[in-house]
Amino acid sequence: MSDVKPVIVWFRQDLRLFDNPAFSAAVRSGAPVMPVYVLDDDSAGEWAMGAASRWWLHRSLESLHKDLGGHLRLFQGKADDVIPRLADRVSAGGIYWNRCYEPWRIARDTIIKKALIEDGRDAQSFNGSLLFEPPNIAKADGTPYKVFTPFYRKGCLASGPPPREVVDRPADFRLYEHDAGTELEGLGLLPDIRWYGEMENTWSPGEHGAQARLDAFLEQGLQDYRSGRNRPDKEAVSRLSPHLHFGEISPHQIWHDAKALAGDSSIADNIDHFLSELGWREFSYYLLYHWPELPRTNLQNKFDRFPWRDDTNALERWQRGLTGYPIVDAGMRELWRTGYMHNRVRMIVGSFLVKNLLLHWHHGEDWFWDTLADADLANNSASWQWIAGCGADAAPYFRIFNPVTQGQKFDPQGAYVRRYVPELAKLPTRHLHNPWETPADVLADAGVKLDEHYPAPIVDLKASRERALAAFRSLKDAQ
């Protein structure tokens, strides 16, 4: 063991070596680097990672450990206990990390930095996760933005500091030898029952998988992004969200790699649309930073009076993909099987839950938290408030997605539905999105018997739409 004081690099949502400011700064210090990860479920509380995210984290840590030559040290417990104690144990000269923006992390990290500095240690944090950090973006009067377009176009692009340049992976680095920590299996991230088989076949967690995913999108998906991004039956979206959430790739690299293609006028509009989607991610974090109650509290407090229903059976049928509406059921089954759902379909299933079923958006938020590999507190909370109509820049209350017309428009050949709802695979395309209206002889020819092979609709679209509109009107009447 070396007598030279090491610098601890505390990995969090930045599980990569390329464009990792904290890791690069530690290497530049000249001290041996001790890379660590702390699974801190205690501090996270109700926002401890769900099952799909824990599977992804296991694989991502496995990849990072390999890239670090087997030197990633793993710990479990409260980070405000683990980090100072470890720093004392190895006589660390410094502790570096990249900032996170969840309220519980901000509170905890503030305590940790204060304790380290008071102990005479160099504690530094860096921006490795956001293009535009929330404290740097505000309206002219100093108040935070509540609407996306002015936030992104004016606050970020026109007035904010530009996204920083990427930082190369250090060519050489010296790692600190120490036997502290536990084995990866000791974190208990994988369940005893191996339910994640299709996720294993769908994803490649880790920095190398993230880079391959970005390269494939820029080469094959970007040219059709603006029109194709709403089509779940196409490979026109980046599918980078879980890689971004775990920091296996940085938004700065994605931003600059996409910008580098802007000289091609044929895809300039697609690039602008793609970058604006990164902007929506930034906006979600901005909202969470300025309104830390976002995950549980309606940003529009009039929704505190909203007459949500309590229907356990309806909720379970939505969760299991048994609503009787094929595009909804396909989305919920894709989520369960792969830990992912196409964004257009997320809006459809979300609208169906909170408007057609009139069930609280918290139910959707909690289910997504457990089943999404890219479960992200900022994005998940802001998106559910958006679809429910109670958040910032929210969808208007009267925007109720019709799952039949949405399916017909965005899955016109039925490839997506047939993949995830195979019991309807033999139905003619013109009947695929509304099987309850299909002639009996056509159903019979396709081998479909409603309420036996596939459920009849759980609610009537017209009646449930009117019920939702009446519920929204009641908020106005109560003012």
**What are residue 8's phi and psi, to 5 degrees?**
-85, 130
Q: Which of 384, 386, 402, 434 is catalytic?
A: 384
Residue 22 vs residues 5, 133, 194, 227, 233: alpha-carbon distances, Å: 17, 16, 35, 38, 39
277 assigned to active site: yes
Residue from 104, 308, 423, 436 carrying the catalytic annotation: 308
Place of tokens 């909370």: 381
Question: Residue 72 and residue 64: Cα distance in Å, rounded?
Answer: 7
Task: Identify the residue whose tokens are 């769908």.
Answer: 202
Catalytic one of 361, 367, 369, 386 = 361
Catalytic residue at 361? Answer: yes
| CA 242 – CA 181 distance, rounded (Å) | 26
Distance of CA 173 to the CA centre of its chain: 31
The SS3 assignment for 36 reads: strand
Q: How far is CA 347 from CA 313, 400, 421, in A?
A: 22, 10, 19
The tokens for 78 are 């409260």
**280 catalytically annotated:** yes
Task: Exactly one of 62, 133, 277, 423 is catalytic; name it.
Answer: 277
Query: What count of residues does the chain have?
Result: 479
C-alpha distances (whole Å) from 173 to each of 25, 64, 68, 96, 320 are: 11, 15, 10, 15, 48
Tokens of 406: 């949405």
Catalytic residue among 104, 127, 343, 436: 343
Q: Which is catalytic among the residues 133, 280, 423, 436?
A: 280
The secondary element (H helix, E strand) that includes residue 382 is helix 377-388
308 is catalytic: yes
DSSP code per residue over 79-113: HHHHHHHHHHHHT-SEEEEE---SHHHHHHHHHHH
Residue partners of 70: CB distance under 8 A and separation at least 6: none
Q: Which residues are catalytic?
A: 277, 280, 308, 343, 361, 384
